[in-house]
Amino acid sequence: MKFPRHFGRRLRRGLLIAAVVLLGLVALINNWVINNTYSYIYDDWSLLPDNDVGLVLGTSPHTRSGAANPQFYGRIHAAAQLYQLGKIKRIIVSGANPDASYNEPRAMRRELVKSGVPPQAIYMDFAGFRTFDSVARAQVVFGLDRVTIITQRYHAYRAVFVAKKLHMKVAGYAAPSEEIGTFSRTMAREVLARVRVVLDIYVLHTEPKFLGAPQPVEKDSNPPPDTDG
């Protein structure tokens, strides 16, 4: 079946308008997430509010090329620094562990211990499959109503946004890392993830993939027993 020439022009024009509208919505949502959370994220530890618990968001220890991942080690360094400075007293490491060869929480715990954090002060969350899950589980499973989120600034905007919408008292600490390029794969993925988290909260009313039994974090001066050997 042959369509008239003007139909093709209208179709292209409609697709172009739809693409422009979609890109505009993506930009608006991203600006909203950033503007809503910017003042809650700190680069200077001396200005960071004290909290009992820090939440370190997971990522791989290695890049695609197999090199050490600066984002992973930046988060470890930041969490250990805050613990040693007394800005946090407990640490939850939250990430994915899809198989025996890949386990983000155990890798984070291992490096934190190497950095001088006592094993007893570290809690592992093995069901932090997404940033949304990590933050929601900190509230529901670990019983937190306030938390310091530790990750790179570009990622902290989304994590802090989730915590705020869950009515948690939250501060974000921007961990050091290499500069993330505006047009990099990582930033493109983050831009889309911010859109998704807004849909999760306001449209889809998403729940974490897995909750399980409560594991409240001890908040007194005595650290919990080391349960990881």
- pLDDT tens across 18-45, in order? 888 889 999 999 999 999 999 999 999 9
Q: What angle do CA 47, 137, 204 make, to 5 degrees?
A: 105
* Helices 5-37 and 185-199: angle between axes, nearest 10 degrees: 80
The chain-wide mean pLDDT, for the chain, equals 91
Q: Reply yes or no on whether the pLDDT at 131 is more than 80.
A: yes
Q: Which residues contact 130 (CB under 8 A, 6 or more apart)?
A: 209
The CATH number for 113's domain is 3.40.50.620
**Is residue 133 assigned to a domain?**
yes
Is position 211 within any domain?
no
Q: Which of 119, 60, 44 is nearest to 95 (CA)?
A: 60
Number of domain units in the chain: 1
More confident residue, 176 or 82: 82
Structural domain boundaries enclosing 149:
8-177+185-204
Query: Is pLDDT at 227 greater than 90 in this prediction?
Result: no
Please check whether residue 68 lies inside any domain of the structure.
Answer: yes
